[in-house]
Amino acid sequence: MDEKGKSTMKVAQAELLDVLTIGMFEQLPVNVRKATNSRNFSAVFCDQNADLSQEAIITLRAAATHDLFPIYWFGESPPEFVDGAFPEISHQFLHEATRDAYEKLSRIAKLGSTRPKEDREGLNVLGYLATRQCDAVPAWAPGSRSSVAYSRLRPDLASRSLLTQLYRQGLLERNYWRKTHLCGRCGSSRLNVAENCPECRSSDLQELDIVHHFSCGHQGPQDAFQLSAGGRMICPSCEQNLDHFGVDYDKPGRVEKCGNCHAVTESPDVYFECLDCAELTLSDEAPQRDWYHYRLSQAGREALLLGRLPVPGLENALGEFEPSKDYATFVALLDNGLSTAQRYGRPFSIAAVRINTGQDDLDQPVRFDSAMRETLIKLLREILRDSDFLYAAGDQIVFAFPETDASEFDAIVRRIDAGLGKNLTGHPDYRFEDWSDRSVRDILREVRNVR
């Protein structure tokens, strides 16, 4: 560190550090002052009995000088998200925690000072990743209903939906990690996988060999073949002994027999049994959830310096809507769909719509609010077919309609047009464009212009 840096550090550490102590902290460093009445503190020192649940941290946030206050743990079993963990309360460890707190608070002080209320949580997540110099890394969490947690993030910031929103705004980058399945009733991912009887859903299944008697052609589960006094199987159809495998009989496969209703099946149903509500969900019908490793992007760092998030576009409004695809998936589906349509002479239509919700008093685009989002998704659910898909970014939605000719395309556009004009709050301006005659390259160029 150069002389200027050392001087800055000395000045910063010369200022008293207001610390909220949770536990028995009697002797603190000379530059540390206990916060009185749990108000206006900059950092937290706590022992191993402290409650650092999401609810507790949200309560602490209301009294802290900044939402991103650092936390230091003294004792056993520290949470992964604390800024420092020490085995005991000692003079040495208290000084180490104090030095680290000054460093963290110095980083926090560099964040943008303006913090619009609607951007607070998003800026907190970005600010935490920046000031802690870490990523949002998912890990298995058996105690959680989701079975996955971002344990390095503080509990009040570890929101999967918020991370997804920030990614869609370009403020985070991400890499795929895992896919989990969800209970069809309660949404829990704490599931037991089991084969069940297709008749009664019982999991009391016994695997049995199928026995094929060559002489009479009878075939059935082995337990249907009685045993002779000598222990040889007797065919239930012709009552002959089956003496030699490969000569009198063989075993061409296996079946499952239900111990509850005695039904026999070659293909039992695979169910997910929820450990929280006991619901059985067919594996083919269980909802799925993708999990990602997130890291701060350059756009995210710039938003932190400005102290304001970019106005969310339609990618956020339609983010969880199933026909809405991310950019990479949209490109792959579009390229494959258009190539197939051209190869086999099949119709394929493309439409783009731009929705302008206007500007606020500061000449900022008006946010696409929850009421608009719900109205738009309801409208599209009624109109779009299973094969249709779309990509939303900024103020633009690009719709792809496979197996759709010009007349069908016009009918769909008219329905969307009528629905937007009738139902969207505030009657925002919008316009449709027919991109059906454009190449994939031209379409993607237009898409990139608003990403």
Give yes or no: residues 14 and 103 share one domain.
yes
The pLDDT, as a whole number, for residue 389 is 93
The pLDDT, as a whole number, for residue 10 is 42
Phi, psi angles (nearest 5°) of residue 117: -55, -40
Give yes or no: residues 128 and 216 share one domain.
no
Name the domain boundary from 109, 131, 147: 109
Give yes or no: residues 15 and 155 share one domain.
no
Query: Would you say residue 26 lies in a domain?
Result: yes
Give yes or no: residues 198 and 159 share one domain.
no
The pLDDT, as a whole number, for residue 275 is 94
- Rounded-to-integer distance, Cα 82 and Cα 103, Å: 15
Q: What is the CATH number of the domain that holds 143?
A: 1.10.10
Query: Would you say residue 116 lies in a domain?
Result: no
Give yes or no: residues 270 and 413 share one domain.
no
Q: Shortest CA distance to 83 belongs to which of 71, 98, 65, 67?
A: 71
If one counts the domains in the chain, the total is: 4
Q: What's 208's DSSP letter?
A: E
Structure tokens at 266: 């070659």
Parent domain of 225: 191-282
Name the domain boundary from 272, 306, 340: 306
Query: Would you say residue 378 lies in a domain?
Result: yes
Give yes or no: residues 276 and 295 share one domain.
no
Give yes or no: residues 220 and 236 share one domain.
yes
Give yes or no: residues 144 and 259 share one domain.
no
Q: What angle do CA 140, 146, 148 make, to 5 degrees?
A: 20
Which residues in the chain show pLDDT less than 70?
Answer: 1-14, 114, 311-313, 315-317, 319-320, 356-373, 423-428, 448-451
The pLDDT, as a whole number, for residue 440 is 87
For β-strands 148-149 and 139-140, DSSP reports them as: antiparallel
User: What pTM did the predictor assign?
Assistant: 0.66
Give yes or no: residues 218 and 276 share one domain.
yes
Give yes or no: residues 197 and 294 share one domain.
no
The pLDDT, as a whole number, for residue 247 is 84
Q: Shortest CA distance to 250 belongs to which of 217, 207, 227, 206?
A: 217
In this structure, are residues 391 and 397 in contact, taking their beta carbons and an 8 Å threshold? yes
Q: Shortest CA distance to 23 belongs to which of 96, 92, 86?
A: 86
Structure tokens at 132: 């802690």
Query: Would you say residue 114 lies in a domain?
Result: no
The pLDDT, as a whole number, for residue 7 is 37
Query: Would you say residue 115 lies in a domain?
Result: no
Query: Would you say residue 278 lies in a domain?
Result: yes
Give yes or no: residues 388 and 445 share one domain.
yes
Give yes or no: residues 361 and 268 share one domain.
no
